[in-house]
């Protein structure tokens, strides 16, 4: 009994070291004990999920939010999140009784045992999307593989696979890929059809899903594409627009939302133990844009922070190419905080739908169920 007690005590000590110094040379060699049902959260994607990775790369302020008034409502300082406060994945972490998941590129070592955030504002599934200014999805995958290799070294191969199998992998990508043909000089849609373009985006996403699966990942969470043509940012792309959504852009989002569930269902049949949750973000935001008062907002079409019509020019903070901007008094009254991103309150509402939404909102599981599932 005394020996058993000593073993438990040793495990507790080693676990404490793991939480704080997982990537430290002090832990070279040796096996570590993990909580039996600990489910971590790994996050991939774009500015909807970027908690500050772009603070640490060579980019422009167009792809950063590390200046006020970003972060003012909750954190009281800019963290690099494209909102006035917390993002969707921050609330998901809270519901899963996890701490806020740290950006992978944050200097120093952190509690990777709880997961890591690889998302990058402006990123796409296509390497060419904002290439050189963001961390594309393929590179985010390479960061995850580095971490998976580290877990293998510290935990042993079998234990690392079990640990990664318990984790949930939250992914949101594609929006920037679909916006680039309309807000840049891209001619891609002149040479291929919209369907072919969407297939390219989802094809790259599928490759990443399969690679995560190879490392041990089994439980994946997604948010369907938002009505991209209805963002304040996209409405100003069309000169003389009187407030209508840009249907050419929204059409790509609809094609994406039609194709992704089919791919996930196919993966579920092909990959043993693969489970997924996909929430209907398109309907959720269409509702809030068109009927804001129903969801506790006063404004669904104009951004809280920005300039120009609908405050649709991405000038929030005054350090981008357009310096002047307007700022509303109460961001929680707005669906959009800036020209292309959601307010903290909107993020929280979507997180709740993803976490505990019923089958008409999320399928095949909601995230709460996914976290509780034992890997197969």
Catalytic, out of 47, 133, 277, 343: 47
How far CA 342 is from CA of 50, 191, 338, in Å, comes to 13, 33, 7
User: What was the pLDDT predicted at 186?
Assistant: 87
User: What was the pLDDT predicted at 38?
Assistant: 85
> What is the β-pairing status of strands 168-172 and 41-45?
parallel
Q: What letter does residue 313 receive in the DSSP assignment? A: B
Catalytic, out of 83, 90, 341, 343: 341
Is residue 341 annotated as a catalytic residue, yes or no? yes
CA angle 327, 318, 347 (to 5 degrees): 50
Q: In angstroms, rounded to a whole number, what is the distance separating the alpha carbons of residues 175 and 252? A: 9
Is residue 47 annotated as a catalytic residue, yes or no? yes
Beta carbons within 10 angstroms of residue 31's beta carbon: 12
In tens digits, the chain (376 residues) has pLDDT values of 444 333 333 443 333 334 344 443 333 344 555 666 789 999 999 999 999 999 999 999 999 999 999 999 999 999 999 999 999 999 999 999 999 999 999 998 667 999 999 999 999 999 999 999 999 999 999 999 999 999 999 999 999 999 999 999 999 999 999 999 999 988 899 999 999 999 999 999 999 999 999 999 999 999 999 999 999 999 999 887 788 999 999 999 999 999 999 999 999 999 999 999 999 999 999 999 999 999 999 999 999 999 999 999 999 999 999 999 999 999 999 999 999 999 999 999 999 999 999 999 999 999 999 999 987 7
Helix axes of 88-95 and 344-356: crossing angle, nearest 10 degrees: 50
Catalytic, out of 40, 120, 338, 339: 338
Q: In angstroms, rounded to a whole number, what is the distance separating the alpha carbons of residues 92 and 253? A: 24
Beta carbons within 10 angstroms of residue 150's beta carbon: 15
Residues 6+ apart with CB under 8 A from 104: 53, 116, 117, 118, 143, 147
User: What was the pLDDT predicted at 65?
Assistant: 98
> What is the β-pairing status of strands 115-117 and 168-172?
unpaired
Q: Distance between the two ends of the chain, CA-based, in angstroms?
A: 33
Give the pair of three-digit tokens for residue 7: 């073993």
Ranges assigned E (strand) in 126-199: 168-172
CA angle 325, 348, 356 (to 5 degrees): 155
Answer whether 55's CB lies under 8 Å from 80's CB: yes
Q: In angstroms, rounded to a whole number, what is the distance separating the alpha carbons of residues 138 and 243? A: 36
Residue 299: phi and psi, rounded to 5, are -140, 125
Q: In angstroms, rounded to a whole number, what is the distance separating the alpha carbons of residues 326 and 171? A: 32
Q: Model pTM?
A: 0.91
Cα-Cα-Cα-Cα dihedral sign, residues 153, 157, 162, 165: positive
Give the pair of three-digit tokens for residue 170: 């939250």
């Amino acid at each position: 009994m005394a020996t058993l007690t000593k073993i438990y005590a040793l495990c507790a000590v080693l676990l404490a070291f793991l939480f704080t110094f997982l990537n430290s040379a002090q832990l070279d060699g040796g096996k570590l004990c993990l909580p039996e049902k600990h489910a971590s959260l790994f996050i991939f994607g774009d500015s909807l999920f970027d908690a500050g990775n772009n603070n640490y790369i060579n980019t422009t302020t167009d792809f950063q939010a590390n200046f006020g008034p970003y972060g003012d409502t909750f954190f009281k300082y800019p963290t690099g999140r494209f909102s006035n406060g917390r993002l969707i994945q921050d609330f998901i972490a809270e519901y899963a009784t996890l701490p806020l998941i740290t950006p992978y590129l944050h200097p120093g070592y952190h509690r990777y045992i709880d997961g890591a955030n690889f998302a990058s504002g402006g990123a796409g599934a296509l390497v060419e999307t904002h290439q050189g200014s963001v961390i594309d999805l393929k590179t985010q995958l390479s960061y995850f593989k580095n971490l998976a290799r580290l877990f293998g070294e510290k935990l042993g191969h079998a234990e690392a696979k079990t640990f990664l199998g318990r984790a949930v992998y939250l992914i949101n990508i594609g929006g920037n890929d679909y916006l680039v043909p309309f807000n840049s000089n891209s001619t891609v849609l002149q040479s291929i059809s919209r369907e072919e373009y969407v297939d390219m985006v989802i094809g790259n996403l599928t490759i990443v899903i399969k690679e995560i699966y190879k490392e041990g990942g089994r439980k994946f969470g997604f948010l369907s594409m938002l009505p991209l043509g209805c963002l304040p940012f996209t409405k100003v792309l069309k000169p003389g627009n009187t407030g209508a959504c840009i249907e050419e852009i929204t059409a790509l989002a609809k094609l994406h939302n039609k194709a992704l569930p089919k791919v996930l269902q196919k993966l579920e049949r092909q990959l043993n133990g693969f489970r997924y949750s996909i929430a209907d973000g398109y309907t959720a935001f269409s509702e809030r844009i068109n009927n804001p008062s129903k969801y506790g907002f006063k404004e669904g079409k104009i951004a809280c922070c920005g300039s120009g019509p609908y405050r649709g020019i991405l000038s929030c903070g005054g350090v981008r190419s357009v310096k002047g901007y307007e700022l509303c008094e109460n961001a929680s009254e707005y669906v959009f905080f800036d020209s292309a991103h959601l307010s903290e309150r909107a993020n929280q509402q979507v997180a709740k739908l993803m976490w505990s939404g019923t089958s008409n909102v999320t399928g095949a599981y909601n995230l709460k169920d996914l976290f509780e599932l034992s890997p197969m």
